Amino acid sequence: MLSQFTSKEDKQTLKKFFTVPEDVYPVGRLDYDSEGLLLLTNDKQLNYRLLHPSFAHEREYWVQVEGDINESAIQNLESGVTISIDGKGYQTKTCKAGKFSASPILPKRDPPIRFRKNIPTSWIWIKLHEGKNRQVRKMTAQVGFPTLRLVRYRIERITIDKLKPGEMIAMDRESIYGKLFEKKM
C-alpha cells in the first residue's frame, strides 16, 4: 500500500486500514513495495526533527538481496556509493552494514517476492543516517545485489519487534521523544 492517506492512483492507502484524526500524517515514507516501521503523528516538531537532515537519526533496514552478497559489496555499501537522485549523481554517506548469518524472523510477505530456483538470496542489515528516495534499493543495486524485500526495522530505538503487519500502537509524546532523541546508553 502507499504510505499516505490519499491517492490519485488506484492503489491501497493507509486510509483503508487505519482510522486516525485528519491532522495525522506519516513521518517519512516507505516505498510501495517496502514494509516495516512507519510513524504517524500530528506533532509538527516531531515531524521536523525526524525529516530534517541535520538531525541525522539512525534507521535500520533489513534487506533481502538477490545473490549471495560478499564482503566486498558490504564494504562498498559502508563506504558510500554513488546513486542517482533526481537524475544527478549522489554519494551516499558512510553507514554500517552486515550480512545476517541466518534469515531474520519476519512474517511472510504478501504478495511474496519473486523466487528463482537457481539464484540464491541473502539478508543484510543497513544502518543509515540519511533517507533519500529509494536509497537502499539504489545502493544494493549499485553494488550488484538488487533488493528483493526491504523492511524498515528501526528508527533510533523504536522497532517493529512484537508488532504484526498492519498493527498500530499509540505512544505518548514523552515515550516517543525518549526513544527517538535521548542519548543511547
For residue 1, tell me if it sits in a domain.
no
Q: Does residue 54 sit within a domain?
A: yes
In a domain, 4, yes or no: no
Catalytic one of 23, 31, 43, 68 = 31
Range of the domain at 83: 14-181
Q: Taking the complete model, does pTM exceed 0.85, yes or no?
A: yes
Start-end of H helices in the chain: 44-51, 71-79, 135-142, 173-181
For residue 30, report the phi and psi dihedrals to the nearest 5 degrees.
-115, 140
82 vs 63: CA distance, rounded Å: 19
Query: How confident is the model at residue 167, as a pLDDT?
Result: 86
Structurally, the chain folds into a number of domains equal to 1
68 is catalytic: no
pLDDT, tens digit (0-9, with 9 covering 90-100), for 61-104? 999 999 999 999 999 999 999 999 999 999 999 999 999 999 99
